[in-house]
Amino acid sequence: MKRLFKVDYLSRVEGETGITAEIQDGEVTVRAGVFEAPRFFESFLRGRHYSDIADFTARICGICPVAYQMSAIHAIERIFGIEVEEPIRELRRLLYCGEWIESHALHIYLLQGPDFYGAESAWSKKDYLPIAKRGLSLKKLGNRILALLGGRPIHPVSVKVGGFSKLPQKKSLLSIVPDIEDAFVESLREVERAARLQFQDHAMDMECVSLCTPREYPMNHGNVISNRGINTPMAGFLSMVRESQVRHSTALHSKIWKDGRESPYLVGPISRVNLNAEKLPEEITTTIKKCGISLPIMNTRMGIIARSIELSYALHEAMRIIRAYEAPSGPSVRFEPREGEATWITEAPRGILIHRYGLDHEGYVKDCTLIPPTSQNLAQMEIDLHDFIQIHIDKSVDFLKKESEKIVRSYDPCISCSVHLVVLEGNKHVKTPYGVRGGIA
Partner 1 sequence: MKRPRIGIFKFTSCDGCQVSVLNLEEELLELLGLFQVAYFREATDRPLRGHLDIALVEGSISTERQRSHVIEVRERTRHLITIGACATSGGLQALRNWASIEDYKKAVYPSPEMIETLPCSTPISDHVYVDYELWGCPINSDELSETIASFLLDKRPGIPGYSLCMECKRKGVPCLLVVKSEPCLGPVTRAGCGVLCPALERPCYGCFGPKEGANIDSLLNVFRKAGLSDHDCALLLDKMNTYSYRKARSREGLQ
Residues at the interface with partner 1 (CB under 8 A):
9, 11-16, 36-40, 42-44, 46, 48-49, 52, 55-56, 59-63, 65, 106, 110-111, 120-124, 129, 132-133, 136-137, 139-140, 143, 151-155, 157-158, 160, 165-166, 245, 331, 416, 421-422, 424-426, 428-430, 437-438
Q: Is 382 left (phi over 0), alpha (psi -120 to 50) or beta?
A: alpha
Q: Which is nearer to partner 1, 103 or 210 (CB)?
A: 103
Contact assessment for residue 91 and residue 164, using Cβ atoms and an 8 Å cutoff: yes
Q: What is the distance between the alpha carbons of residues 170 and 158, in angstroms, rounded to a whole number?
A: 16
- Which of residues 9 and 26 has its CB atom nearest to partner 1 in the complex? 9
The residues that bridge with 232 in the sheet, in sequence order, are 224
Contact criterion met (CB below 8 Å) for 56 and 43: no
Q: How far is the CB of 184 from partner 1 (least distance, A)?
A: 19
Residue (282 or 425) nearer to partner 1, CB: 425
Nearest distance, CB of residue 256 and partner 1, angstroms: 21
Length of the chain counted residue by residue: 441
Toward partner 1, which CB reaches closer, 65 or 351? 65
Q: What is the CA radius of gyration of the chain?
A: 21
Longest dimension (CA), the chain: 72
Give the residue with the Cβ less far from partner 1, 139 or 221: 139
Angle at 250 between CA 244 and CA 253, to 5 degrees: 30
Distance CA 36, CA 33 (A): 9
CB 421, min distance to partner 1, A: 8
62 vs 87, beta carbon nearer partner 1: 62
Could you tell me if 312 and 293 are in contact, meaning their C-beta atoms sit under 8 angstroms apart? no
The Cα–Cα gap between 432 and 29 comes to: 30
Task: Pick the closer one to partner 1 by CB: 45 or 195.
Answer: 45
- Cβ partners under 8 Å of residue 312, min gap 6: 184, 187, 188, 190, 191, 284, 287
Strands 365-371 vs 27-34: parallel, antiparallel or unpaired: unpaired
The CB-of-149 to partner 1 minimum distance in angstroms stands at 10
What's the min distance (Å) between Cβ of 61 and partner 1? 5
Minimum gap (Å) between residue 154 Cβ and partner 1? 4
Residue 37 Cβ vs partner 1, minimum distance, rounded to whole Å: 4
The nearest distance, CB 32 to partner 1, in angstroms, is 17
Q: Compare residues 13 and 256 and give the one whose CB is closer to partner 1.
A: 13
262 vs 405 by CB, closer to partner 1: 405
On the 0-12 / 13-18 / 19+ scale of CB atoms within 10 A, 59 is middle
Q: What is the DSSP string of 333-351?
A: -------EEEEEEEEETTE
Beta bridge partners of 364: 49
Shortest CB 307 distance to partner 1, Å: 17
Give the Cα-Cα-Cα angle 412, 415, 416 (nearest 5 degrees).
130
Task: Tell the smallest beta-carbon distance from residue 144 to partner 1 (Å).
Answer: 10
Closest to 70 (Cα-Cα) out of 376, 354, 404 = 354
Instruction: Pick the closer one to partner 1 by CB: 153 or 303.
Output: 153
